[in-house]
Structure 1
Amino acid sequence: MPRSGLTRASVTEAGAALVDEIGFDQLSMGLLAERLGVKTPSLYKHVAGQADLAHAIAVLAMGEVTDAIRDATQGRAGRDALVAGAHAMRTFVREHPGRYAAGNAAQLLGPDDPLLPASERVMASWAAMLHGYQLPPEQEIHALRMLRSMLHGFGTLELAGSFQVDAPVDDSFTWIVDFVDHGLRALQA
């Protein structure tokens, strides 16, 4: 019988909080069981194993980052949406590094995998950030890939402490977002 109060969702949430603290690479069922005050075998009533837990954390993270971007960009368009969405993404990566890493490490397990609609929602949130630029259809996928690469690259480099030059990192982020805005406006249909 599963422990009262533990569900797949609560185990996933606890796992997500744990990886944000210790890093995604350090996740173990034993550490999570200790955190929850249960024996490790008790977790297997809620998740099939560590891979299943990591996958569930990835799905959770994708939903959370989508919601963060949606909330930040709602009612905005063009540069305003780009700036708000970029900052929301950067904030999510900084505040939830383990979840973000889980989302990037996840692979689709099949056509019914909940990761698929979660990933599609993330792509839709990035597309919404770009919608106000009215890009030609043939340019949209390239713009989405550029935006994802820029946000991912900056976020992961910042997390790793790789920006060590004596210049404010916030200024660099603003400069990059402005540069992307100028480039996107140059592509407008």
Structure 2
Amino acid sequence: MAAQPSSTAGRRGARLSRETIVNAALTFLDREGWDALTINALATQLGTKGPSLYNHVESLDDLRRTVRMRVVGDIIDMLKTVGQGRTRDDAVMAMAAAYRSYAHHHPGRYSAFTRMPLGGDDPEFTEATRQAAAPVIDVLASYGLEGEAAFHAALEFWSAMHGFVLLEMTGVMDGIDTDAVFADMVMRLAAGMERRR
């Protein structure tokens, strides 16, 4: 009886898709970090060789950009979900807590989210990042803020969240009751929203 050809390579190739590769990259980021993400490193995680990934992604830049866009979308969805049905201080606190939790549970993805500035040279990513402020702006409307005032307030909110998260993640606030400090900071931000009118 003739030996049957091995189908291992075929199964491995069939398993790969752009979606599979992007999902693997997201997992890789949280474990290894942004700077470690390369085509060859990701291919190793997937049990294949680097060249096979190029059937689905054009380059490392293409992969990283796709990952960033996916993370921005996930954050927007998360903020919309936690803010739904909430207003004012309750909504601000819920969004802040969700944002902080995401950063701690997905440090690599969070790093990808903050890698490009709002005014970067990628118009689509720039617009997507600006849209990440939309759920916060919607909540700020319950304080009577709208237009440019709401957008600026959302940027201030994001700046405070990002700064706090970075201090936590780098260990600067080790030994401090960060939960209490965080809650106090968010409530002060919320009180500031009320006064901005």
Work out whether the TM-score is over 0.5.
yes
Match in the other structure for 1:169: 178
TM superposition shift of 1:141 = 2.8
Match in the other structure for 1:123: 133
Q: Is the 8 A contact 1:12 1:53 kept in 2?
A: yes
Q: Residue 86 of structure 1: SS of its match in structure 2? A: helix
Q: How does 1:9-28 map to 2 (within 5 A)?
A: 9-28=19-38
CA distance in structure 2 between the aligned counterparts of 1:119 and 1:136, rounded to whole angstroms: 19
Match in the other structure for 1:185: 194
Q: How does 1:26-37 map to 2 (within 5 A)?
A: 26-37=36-47
Q: Residue 57 of structure 1: SS of its match in structure 2? A: helix
TM superposition shift of 1:86 = 0.6
* 1:40 partnered with 2:50: yes
CA distance in structure 2 between the aligned counterparts of 1:132 and 1:118, rounded to whole angstroms: 23
CA distance in structure 1 between the aligned counterparts of 2:196 and 2:163, rounded to whole angstroms: 23
Return the TM-score normalized by structure 2.
0.86
* 1:65 partnered with 2:87: no
> CA RMSD for the aligned pairs?
2.0
CA distance in structure 2 between the aligned counterparts of 1:133 and 1:44, rounded to whole angstroms: 49
Q: Is the 8 A contact 2:30 2:106 kept in 1?
A: yes
Task: Identify the match of residue 156 of structure 2 among 146, 151, 156.
Answer: 146
Gaps in structure 2 of 5+ consecutive residues = 1-9
Distance 1:109 1:38, change over 3 A: farther
The amino acid of 1:12's aligned partner reads: V
Identity, in percent, stands at 31
CA distance in structure 2 between the aligned counterparts of 1:142 and 1:110, rounded to whole angstroms: 21
CA distance in structure 2 between the aligned counterparts of 1:13 and 1:42, rounded to whole angstroms: 16
The amino acid of 1:95's aligned partner reads: H
Match in the other structure for 1:134: 144
Gaps in structure 1 of 5+ consecutive residues = none
TM superposition shift of 1:142 = 2.3
CA distance in structure 2 between the aligned counterparts of 1:43 and 1:141, rounded to whole angstroms: 39
Q: Which has the larger radius of gyration?
A: 2
Return the TM-score normalized by structure 1.
0.89
The amino acid of 2:151's aligned partner reads: I
- CA deviation map 1:98-136 (0-9, x unaligned): 11111211365555x3x3453243121221232211126
CA distance in structure 1 between the aligned counterparts of 2:116 and 2:27, rounded to whole angstroms: 17
